[in-house]
């Protein structure tokens, strides 16, 4: 029997970013589902089957922090990685207090996203 692949949900309003992340994460062996907004995420059929959520902080209409608050109100259990293009100490503190496991600044360097996903899933880091 083939082991189950981890499901990663990526939420980002930028289509090009979503496509690039999907490609990069699928190369690493993850099953990747994409959402263009927090509203789309709320109705995604695999929301509560996801093993990890990668969430952009800056999106139109509903910001990532609002999405995060709503997920926590509904007892979302998967680890969350927050992406941002403008990382501040205040954002990092608020995210950490909300249970976010990693806060990453875009653009990602040296496999930071893949390493963070492996970390929150408890996998050993892939060897080169």
Give 113-124 pLDDT, tens digit per residue: 999 999 999 987
Give pTM, 2 decimals.
0.88
**Residue 33 included in any domain:** yes
Give 14-26 pLDDT, tens digit per residue: 999 999 999 999 9
> What residues make up the domain containing 79?
7-111
**Residue 123 included in any domain:** no
Q: What is the CATH number of the domain that holds 98?
A: 3.40.50.2300
**Residue 31 included in any domain:** yes
7 pairs with which residues across the strands?
Answer: 31
- The residue ranking higher by pLDDT, 73 or 116, is 116
**Buried b / exposed e along 29-55 (16+ C-beta atoms within 10 A):** ebbbbbbbbbeebeeeeebeebbbbbb
The contacts of residue 112 (CB under 8 Å, 6+ apart) are 104
The contacts of residue 110 (CB under 8 Å, 6+ apart) are none
């Amino acid at each position: 029997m083939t082991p189950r692949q981890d499901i990663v949900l990526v939420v980002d309003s930028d289509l090009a970013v979503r496509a690039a992340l999907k490609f990069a994460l699928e190369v690493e062996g993850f099953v990747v589902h994409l959402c263009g907004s927090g509203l789309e995420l709320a109705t995604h059929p695999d929301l509560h089957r996801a093993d990890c959520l990668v969430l952009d902080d800056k999106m139109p209409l509903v910001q990532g922090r609002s999405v995060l608050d709503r997920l926590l109100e509904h007892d979302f259990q998967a680890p969350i990685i927050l992406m941002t293009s403008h990382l501040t100490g205040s954002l990092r503190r608020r995210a950490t207090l909300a249970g976010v496991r990693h806060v990453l600044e875009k653009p990602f360097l040296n496999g930071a996203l893949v390493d963070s996903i492996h970390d929150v899933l408890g996998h050993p880091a892939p060897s080169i």
